[in-house]
């Protein structure tokens, strides 16, 4: 049993690749849902006091309870009221709604970063609310929100390991399956950790690039 067994990783490579692809697909789908949900909730809460009261519980509940419990509730709890989701859909919905709660606060903060004077000027020029948002507020808010949004994707990518409890064959689930066959925990989890690190580090590099890009663009007024 001693010594590093590189052959374990070569033999497990097809399963690891399958798990890696599943992790990326689940993470991207969940992040798209999170961005859509978070943008809608963030704009609504920034623009309307009534929306802040109505949507506040969603944000507080999903930020204030463990993601694992949310996944269990969606997959195992909702069928008791007649709402059945398969494991992939439940995982994507759970990750997406959880991420959306955090992204909504990023969006709301980015909207607040745009001065009220610009909204007043747009109103004085006869812009409608929608025209003001599309042509003035959102372009500036995106510059503020984009780097933390990339960081949110990094966090969601790590959290995607939790969907393994729903029997989704993503990277963490695959590592458990390989370990039960080989009993070589060191090699298996080292490889899986390296794969996660590679994905997260790539996202981190993208985030740094975006931060530099938008700092330069802001400096020259683009």
Q: Give a yes or no: residue 199 inside a domain.
A: yes
Number of domains in the chain: 1
Contact 23, 171 (CB under 8 A): yes
pLDDT one digit per residue (tens) for the chain, 222 residues:
567 888 888 999 999 999 999 999 999 999 999 999 999 999 999 989 999 999 999 999 999 999 999 999 999 999 999 999 999 999 999 999 999 999 999 999 999 888 778 888 888 888 888 888 888 888 888 888 888 898 899 999 999 999 999 989 999 999 999 999 989 999 999 999 999 999 999 998 888 887 777 665 555 455
Distance CA 19, CA 171 (A): 4
Q: Reduced to 3 states, what is the DSSP secondary structure of residue 127? A: coil
Q: Give a yes or no: residue 113 inside a domain.
A: yes
Contact 89, 26 (CB under 8 A): no
Q: Give a yes or no: residue 1 inside a domain.
A: no
Q: Give a yes or no: residue 82 inside a domain.
A: yes
Domain that holds residue 166: 6-219
Radius of gyration of the chain (CA): 21
Give the per-residue pLDDT at 185: 92
| Residue 16 in tokens | 């690891």
Give the per-residue pLDDT at 2: 63
CATH number (domain holding residue 123): 1.10.3720.10
Give the per-residue pLDDT at 77: 96
């Amino acid at each position: 049993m001693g010594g590093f067994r590189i052959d374990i990783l070569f033999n497990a490579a097809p399963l690891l690749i399958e798990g890696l692809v599943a992790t990326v697909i689940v993470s991207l789908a969940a992040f798209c849902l999170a961005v859509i949900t978070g943008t809608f909730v963030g704009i609504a809460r920034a623009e309307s006091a009534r929306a802040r009261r109505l949507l506040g519980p969603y944000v507080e509940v999903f930020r204030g309870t463990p993601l694992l419990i949310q996944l269990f509730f969606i997959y195992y709890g909702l069928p008791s009221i007649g709402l059945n989701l398969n494991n992939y859909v439940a995982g994507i919905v759970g990750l997406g709604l959880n991420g959306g709660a955090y992204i909504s606060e990023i969006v709301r903060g980015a909207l607040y970063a745009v001065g009220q004077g610009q909204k007043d000027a747009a109103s004085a020029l006869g812009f409608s609310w929608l025209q003001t948002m599309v042509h003035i507020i959102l372009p500036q808010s995106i510059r503020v929100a984009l780097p933390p949004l990339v960081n949110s994707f990094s966090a969601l990518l790590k959290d995607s390991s939790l969907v393994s409890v729903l029997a989704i064959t993503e990277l963490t689930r695959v590592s458990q399956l390989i370990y039960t066959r080989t009993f070589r925990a060191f090699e298996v989890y080292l490889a899986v950790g390296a794969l996660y690190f590679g994905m997260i580090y790539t996202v981190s590099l993208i985030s740094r690039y975006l931060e530099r890009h938008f700092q330069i663009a802001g400096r020259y007024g683009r």
